[in-house]
Amino acid sequence: MRYLSTRASSGSTADRKQFCEILLEGLAPDGGLYLPEHYPQVDDATLTTWRSLRYADLAFEVLSLYIDDIPAADLKAICAKTYTEEVFGSQEIVPLRPLEDGLYLEALSNGPTLAFKDMAMQLLGNLFEYELARRGEELNILGATSGDTGSAAEYAMRGKKGVRVFMTSPNGRMSPFQQAQMFSLQDENIHNIAIDGVF
C-alpha cells in the first residue's frame, strides 16, 4: 500500500510512500494530508468472518489492508498490546449497548482519558515506539491543546521509549478534569507547559 499527499501535483511514483515512511512525518512536505493510493475492497464473506473476531484481531485485519511494511506478526502483536481490557476497561474494548430493537449505542470513551481519541492514539503510541526502535531514532512531539486531545496524546505516549512529548496549554483555560489528567502525569518523557494567552 502506498500513500500520497492530497496536494501531490505529479503522478510520479516517487511521490508515493509506504506507511512507515509517513508514520512519523505528520503532514506531507507540501502541507497536504496523506491518503491511501487506493482503498481496499472488503467483500461480504470477509465481513461475515470478521464479525466473530475479538477487537484486537479485527483491528489487525483492517490495518493489514493499509500497512504492508510492518511484518504481520509484529502488527498483530501491536494490536494485541493496544486493545486490552486493562487499557479500555472492557473485554469488548468497544462495547455495544442495545437501546431498542435494532438500535445500539457504541461506547468509544472507555480509554484512559475517557475520550474517543484514545481509540486511535493508543495504537499510534505503540506504532511510534515500534518504528522508532526499528530505526534506532528518537522523536520529540510538540503539541498544543486546550482539552482532551492533549491528554489523549500524552496517555498514548507516556513511558514510550524514544518519544518525548512537550504539550503546551493555555494557563487557566482548561477544565479542572482535563488539567488534572495532563498535569498529574509523572512520566519522564511527558512535559506539560502552561502558557499565558490563547493560541
Residues designated as active site: 117
State the Cα–Cα distance between residues 75 and 60, nearest whole angstrom.
7
* Contact residues for 30 (Cβ-Cβ < 8 A; gap 6+): 5, 7, 8
- Asked if 23 contacts 128 with a C-beta cutoff of 8 angstroms, the reply is yes
Q: Please state the φ and ψ torsions of residue 83, each to the nearest 5 degrees.
A: -95, 80
* Contact residues for 27 (Cβ-Cβ < 8 A; gap 6+): 33
Which cell goes with 151?
Answer: 491528554
Phi-psi domain of 88 (left: phi exceeds 0; alpha: psi -120 through 50; beta: other): alpha
